[in-house]
Chain A
Amino acid sequence: MSTINALGLILLVLMVLVGGKQGWAAFLSLLFNFGFLYFGLILIALQVPAVWVSAGLGVVILAITIFMGEDDLKTTIPAFLASCIVAAAMLGLIILIEHLVLVQGFSLEDSDDLEGMSIQIGISYLSVTIAAAFLSTLGAIAEAAMAVAAGLTEILATHPNLPNRRLFGNGMMIGKQIIGTTLNTLFFGFAGSLLALFIWFLGLHYSLGTILNNKIFGHEMVIVLVSFAAVIITVPVTAAMVIYRRNHSPESGSNV
């Protein structure tokens, strides 16, 4: 058995043991997300514009992560809508910033991996970089939106008549509780994928100026910072969405 299958099997068994039906759904959502990501990659290879592919994939991946992670529609619908809004805003920010930092494609440090490869592939590396940056923020957006929406739904269940202002304040409170650990989740996630690169930089005594202007470093920094921004604005947007849906549901409270 290959290592990936063995580890996948262990993860599946553990998820079902700990989470039951929900654990099974979580495992499936991983598989689906992987499948769609790879499908998107193939579409881009077939010359479909990368930014549009990533925008479409974004909606699908957010839907999979949110609706398969939780059954309660009172939580998932506002979380999904809010995360779509945030994702759209982040796509705009990413397009703007990537045109300014120009960190597309490869850097000299990649030379080893590029040996014998043709890099003139006729697809704009800038748009591929935009797609990659956008996709890597999605998980963080979905997670933060779920946390805020779930917390507010819980509060609404016990205090259905809470004024909007108070409810929004509660949403920001939840945001304050999750922000420290969420930023650290993202930081460690990126540190984990960048360890080798930083050993390279520090081992060869790159100066601060060299690092700041390095393509790979720039690419990763943009993703980390945009992910941070995404999580931060997800908090008020989700709180506002929960409130909006409470005030605009056809039969207040009973339907959605």
Chain B
Amino acid sequence: MNWQLAGWRKRLLGLFLVVGVALWFFMGHNQRLYQKPIARVEAAQTVKTTRVKDQFENVDYQITQRLKLRLLNGTYRGKRLTVTNTYTKSQGLDQAYKKGNQVFLTQLVKKHGRLTAEVSGYKRDRPLVMLAWLVMMLLILTLGTAGSLALASVLLNVLLFVIAIEVDLKFQDWNAFWIFAILALCFAAASLVIVLGPTKKMLATLAATILATAVAVGLSALVITWTGARGVYYESMQYVTQVPRPLFLAETLLGSLGAVMDEASDIVATLFELKTLDPDVSFGQLFWSGRNVGKSIMGPLVNVLFMIFLADTFTSALMYLKNGNSLAYTFNMNMSLGTVQSLISGIGIVLAVPLVSLFAAILLGRRG
């Protein structure tokens, strides 16, 4: 038995390694799939370094480098050219290039028999795809079928996510919040069916997840209205192309959904376990145990989302501080939305505990 398992694992590892090598090769030689001109840096030489200081006394260095490039695609494939690239040492918007890097070019033209161009960005698809490959390999090799199912449900959710955005873009006059709320329903149902199968367990988890998330988001929307959204800086929301408020609520809804589902399925699983151990377990006992499981998971779960929402604002918050802004203003402009999001998710996660316990207890318990 153990040997067979090892053999199965070994074969899979072999397959992954072969795919990995092929992927590595393909991602290094896929320039022809790109419309934009791509070149490889063959030599990089620093030409000039200037010390710069902004009005907040931040000292940085502006560095000019000369890059010898060889084009890898397009009509001029194989031709060489030299460009200059200017970057700051801290590399906020621009960056330094080294020998061996591949870069995207713009304004590639031939003037008087010489090619000129400007570097517009770094080609980073290869390391990204390889990281994805590494994680998939880890997931499937260590956790087997369960890992593959988890991966499948994540991929399905990515697909649903893209579809919902396309719907949102097609019907701009619909309220974005409701589109994503419906999407959230599909998300929850699909993931739970994949992870738990179409069972009673799944129904209890789904009902509790939906109810807890809906109550949390609804309640919070009311609180935001009552307090006049004081301290909620919608204008600091990034990358907004639509009305920010419904979009923000939709983001919050999606953000908390996974955590609420996670917690609900943990509680339901424990209660079903209890029921199999002791078929006569009472409604009250079930409810109580559910609450006991829930209260120890809720803290860590809220922290998971909190870290995700806040760490995301780190770079931008740092820039605010270095631009001479106060701690309070930096918080308001960068972290207020993330904090509100974490708090709403937290409310959903906490509310889910009694709700799930109640549903599972009704479903399983002997009334008395």
Contacts and interface: CB of A to CB of B under 8 A. Distances in A.
Interface of A: 1-8, 10-11, 14-15, 18-20, 22-23, 25-26, 29-30, 33-34, 37-38, 41-42, 44-45, 61, 65-66, 68-70, 97, 100-110, 113-114, 117-126, 128-129, 131-133, 135-140, 142-143, 146-147, 150, 172, 175-193, 195-200, 202-203, 207, 209, 212-213, 215, 218, 221-223, 225-226, 228-229, 232-233, 235-236
A97 B238 contact: no
Nearest to A10: B347
B95 to A, nearest CB: 6
A191 B255 contact: yes
A65 B319 CA distance: 28
Main secondary structure of the interface of B (DSSP, over half): helix
Given A181-B265, A199-B165, A139 B306 contact: yes
A188 B254 contact: yes
Interface of B: 33-36, 52, 54-56, 58-60, 62, 88-93, 95, 104, 121-125, 127-129, 131-132, 134-135, 138-139, 142-147, 149-151, 153-154, 157-158, 161-162, 165-166, 168-169, 180, 187, 191, 194-195, 219-220, 223-224, 226-232, 237-242, 247, 250-259, 261-262, 265-266, 269, 291, 294-312, 314-323, 327, 331, 336, 338-344, 346-347, 350-351, 353-354
B245 to A, nearest CB: 12
A69 B302 CA distance: 11
A185 B301 contact: yes
Chain A at the B interface: SS class? helix
Which 4 A-B pairs rank lowest in CB-CB distance, beginning with the nearest? A192-B255, A188-B258, A26-B299, A136-B311
Contact of A106 (B92, B187, B232): B92
Contacts of A193: 251, 255, 308-309, 312, 338, 341
A245 to B, nearest CB: 20
Nearest to A137: B307
Given A19-B295, A44-B318, A97-B131, A183 B230 contact: no
Given A132-B312, A189-B305, A6 B223 contact: yes
B351 A14 contact: yes
16 contacts: A19-B295, A26-B298, A26-B302, A30-B306, A42-B327, A61-B307, A65-B303, A102-B122, A122-B60, A124-B91, A128-B315, A136-B308, A146-B300, A175-B143, A179-B150, A188-B258
B243 to A, nearest CB: 11
B343 A117 contact: no
A128 B317 CA distance: 11
A121 B307 contact: no
A176 B90 contact: no
Given A121-B58, A150-B296, 13 more contacts: A2-B231, A15-B346, A18-B354, A33-B306, A69-B299, A97-B131, A104-B315, A106-B92, A121-B60, A122-B60, A196-B237, A199-B247, A209-B125
A195 B154 contact: no
A142 B354 CA distance: 24
Given A3-B232, A11-B347, A235-B142, A198 B314 contact: no
Contacts of A122: 58-60, 89-90, 322
B336 A140 contact: no
Contacts of A196: 237-242, 247, 251
Nearest to A222: B131
B237 to A, nearest CB: 7
B240 A45 contact: no
B90 A121 contact: yes
B223 A3 contact: yes
Contacts of B89: 122, 124
A65 B308 contact: no
Contacts of B180: 195
Contacts of B253: 192
Nearest to B308: A189
Most A CB atoms within 10 A — which of B154, B230, B301, B319?
B319
Given A45-B322, A180-B149, A222-B131, A200 B223 contact: no
Interface centre among A19, A122, A128, A133 (most CB of B within 10 A): A122
